[in-house]
Amino acid sequence: MVKDRLAELRLVRSSDFFNVPQKGNVKSDSKTKLDKTDGSLDCGFLDEVSHLLQVITELRDHVNKVEIVQRDILAAPQQDAQLDDQLIQLTRTIRQKAYDVRTALKGNPICFQIMADTEAAKRSLSDIEARHADIIRLEKSIEELRDLFMAVSLMVDQQSELIDRVEYNVNKAADCVVQAKGKLSSAVQQNKKSRRCKIICIIVLIVLAILAIITIASAIGLT
């Protein structure tokens, strides 16, 4: 691992720093100078590796923040422009840092593990972007479903008004039927009464006619 290698290099640098040359030994002095040169190179390399490790740690933190923002976007009932802007900003930051790390590690065979970590971060970013796209599609589907429910609700309201009017007309027709039923009953009673009156009148007329005939006949007989 890179962290293990970093510890070893730091140990080597410390050993080189405390390596004091002996007097009268030119070869030892040359080696000491070479070791000091290597130590300075190791120092710069360690600083670069430390910086890259810090950048990778920041990348992981940004990836975790992106996941948190995505969960917040998915949990929000409505679209939040602030969360979208925050996600876009984090994505840009991750891409920039990944590009910087890739540029710094290009052509350096010692930092394969760092490059592997960077590639893993890129894959995580791609997965996050794909998940974000899925969230956007899901959000659009939810909005379309909400619009459909609103249209159905409006249609139900309109149909309820129509049903209310039909119910009013039916109730009014029922009242008219009840009134007509009462009028029909009274008309039947009046028809029965008028029929009785007609029969009585006919009987009276017949009796009067008989009396008139008898009277006329008796008058003719007397004469």
| Domain-located, residue 168 | no
Q: Give pLDDT, residue 106.
A: 67
pTM over 0.75, yes/no: no
Q: For 45-102, what is each residue's pLDDT tens digit?
A: 667 777 777 878 888 888 888 888 888 877 777 777 787 888 888 888 888 877 877 7
Domain count along the chain: 1
CATH of the domain at 32: 1.20.58
Q: Is residue 83 part of a domain?
A: yes
Confidence at residue 43, expressed as pLDDT on a 0 to 100 scale: 61
The range of the structural domain enclosing residue 131 comes to 2-156
Is residue 114 in some structural domain?
A: yes
Answer for the pair 6, 50: CB distance below 8 angstroms, yes or no.
yes
Looking at the domain assignment, is residue 145 inside a domain? yes
10 to 6, 89, 150: CA distances (angstroms) = 6, 36, 67
Which element (helix H / strand E) includes 149? helix 112-222
